[in-house]
Amino acid sequence: MSGRRPLAARSARGSARAERSRPWWLLPVVGLLLVGFFFLRVWPKHRPPGGAANRAEGLGARDAFRMGLTLSREGHHLAALEYFASVSRQMPVSWTARQSYASTLYNCAQEVRTHLGRQDPSTRSSVERVAMVRASMNESKVADSIATTPQEHAVMAYQRGQTLHSFGLVTNALVEFRRAAALDSSSILIAAGLRQAERRLARGGPAE
């Protein structure tokens, strides 16, 4: 006499068939998902502060300065900025450190990139560029305050002249260039900046 098998037995056999029919790769996939979840949610909390955004933080002043100088010479001023900022923090009373940081801030505001066949500013907005120029002027004042030779003072006056000249403030720039030339009459670079500002002013000022 045939009859229905007990429900528990049928359930057990059904479960066994279901276990055998599951894909063999399902368990490893679940494991990988769990590992991925761990790295996304847990691991970042244990990363060193700053991460890749602060690559200069682990470097000494000499190495950071060398790296910043290399990037600047290649025209990557925005990339160099964090290195010179680190040097400035490590050596706050160094004229070279503060002058380099001031110069790099200015160069960052002027940096361009080629986009769709034309050159555009590398920074995101004019507000950001103006902020960099203001920071450059502030750093320039600090560097000038700790300068010890006429040549160092001349460099800072020349840098301020450059900044003012690039923003069309030719008369103010001329004052700084003349001060720089008086402090260091042997500098060809300063003499060239002075002549350019004088020619621009003779043509009527801001317009090139």
Name, of 56-60, 67-71, 201-205, the range with top average pLDDT.
67-71
pLDDT band at 50 (very low <50, low <70, confident <90, very high): very low
Strands (E), the chain: 112-115, 118-121
pLDDT band at 120 (very low <50, low <70, confident <90, very high): low
Q: Which residue has the higher pLDDT, 82 or 125?
A: 82
- Across all residues in the chain, what is the average pLDDT? 77
What is the C-alpha radius of gyration for the chain, rounded to an integer number of angstroms? Answer: 32
Q: How far apart, in Å, are the Cα atoms of 142 and each of 55, 73, 90, 108, 109?
A: 25, 24, 15, 19, 19
Task: Summarize the confidence of residues 110-122 as an average pLDDT.
Answer: 71
List, for residues 67-106, the tens digit of each pLDDT value. 999 999 999 999 999 999 999 999 999 999 999 999 999 9
Residues of the chain with pLDDT > 70, as a percent, come to: 68
Contacts of 162 (CB under 8 A, 6+ apart): 106, 173, 193
* Alpha carbon 124 to its chain's center: 12
Q: Which residue has the higher pLDDT, 36 or 118?
A: 118
DSSP single-letter state for residue 205: S
